[in-house]
Structure 1
Amino acid sequence: MPRALIVIDVQNAYAAELPIEYPPLAQTLHNVGRAMDAAQAAGVPIVMVQQAAPASAGLFGTGSPSWRLHEAVAHRPHDHLVQKRLPSALAGTGLGDWLRARGIDTLTVAGYMTQNCDDATVKQAAHEGYAVEFLSDASGTLPLANRAGSASAEEIHRVTLVVMQSGFAAVLRTEEWVETLASGAAPERDDILTSNRRARGLV
Structure 2
Amino acid sequence: MVRSRRARKAVGAVLVAAALAACGSEVPGGGGDGADARARAHGVTRDLVYVLRLPDHRVVPQSVGVLGGDGYGAVYSDQRGATLQLSVDRAEFTAAGCAAPTVCEEEGELRYRRTGEQHEYALPEGGHVVTISAPTGTVDRALLRRAAESARPASDAEVLDLLPATGDEGEADRPGPAPGRGDLPPHGDGAPDNRPGASG
> TM-score, normalised to structure 2's length?
0.20
Q: Structure with the greater relative contact order (CA < 8 A, sep ≥ 6): 1 or 2?
A: 1
Bigger fraction of residues in helix: 1
Q: TM-score, normalised by structure 1?
A: 0.20
